[in-house]
A = this chain, B = another copy of it.
Amino acid sequence: MVRLRASLATRAEAIEHAIDRLLAPVKGGEARLIDAMRYATLGGGKRLRGYLVAEVASMFGVDGAAAYRVAASVEMLHAYSLVHDDLPAMDDDDLRRGQPSTHRKFDEATAILAGDALQTMSFGILADPATHSDAGVRIELVTALAAASGAAGMVGGQMIDMEGEGRSLSLEEVARLHALKTGCLIRYSAEAGAILGQARADVRERIAAYGRDLGAAFQVADDVLDATASAEELGKTAGKDEAAGKSTYVALLGVEGAAREARRLAEQAKAHLDIFGSEADRLRDLVNYVVERRN
């Protein structure tokens, strides 16, 4: 785990640096837009998604610069979803990672536009020749990101989440909600590393399955955290799920049952890595980290 923490820190710094270069400040009337995009993407977060891209890509011998571009792209996509999710009409959250959310720091219009432009930019980076010399690889990345983040993925999950507020969802419904809302993008992140590495179809499928189950474990662990951790530990408002009348794994299974489910999913995620040797050890450690973290 010490090994993983060092790797997480190193890659998080490289991702931060990549975003900083891709999103250089500008002058003129659009300066405020770029400032808001930088505010929403720079200065922290675990960079779980970007880490997955870079770590999987490195397993296939892909050079750092290309991998960090794709990592920066998925972190921008993720950041756009958080900026829009925090808006008053959505989750109405004033805090994000212990700081004012983007619409509180700037204003609602700027936050909407910053999220919009972050989404565009994440696709633009993937399509750029600097990401990979082979147009076929770039188009696969674009296709996979669009599938993971659109109406049949992340945004669809957010819609189901809003629709489900105030009524009880079944365990199956909650699992589907999260598979779409957070799972698809985490799965994509792992798969993107394999796409960059031009991995064989069956190997790519294993990596994607690992990402899918890691994402599921992550979400169940997140529900447990939301119910048990303090706002200080979380860096965001705690107990929001319950207050919003959202159906959670904890509401359905209890804290102990949900923690057990997170561990079960974690084992399932690691099983997909059986075809790899020690080169996948950090991906295995990441699963443990995700279900044991306190923030």
**Which residues of A pack against B, CB within 8 Å?**
28-30, 32-34, 37, 80-81, 84, 87, 89-90, 107-110, 112-113, 115-117, 119-121, 123-124, 126-128, 135-136, 138-139, 142-143, 146-147, 149-152, 155-160, 162-164, 173, 177, 180
Contacts and interface: CB of A to CB of B under 8 A. Distances in A.
Taking each of A87, A113, A121, which has the highest tally of chain B beta carbons within 10 Å of its own beta carbon? A113
B123 A142 contact: yes
A165 to B, nearest CB: 10
Q: Is the interface of A mostly helix, strand, loop or mixed?
A: helix
A254 to B, nearest CB: 24
Contacts of A29: 159-160, 163-164, 173, 177
A120 B119 contact: yes
Contacts of A30: 151-152, 156-157, 159-160, 180
Given A156-B30, A163-B32, A150 B112 contact: no
Contacts of A162: 109-110, 113
Given A29-B164, A32-B163, A164-B29, A90 B119 contact: no
Contacts of A128: 143
Given A107-B89, A163-B29, A124 B112 contact: no
Contact of A135 (B108, B139, B156, B157): B139
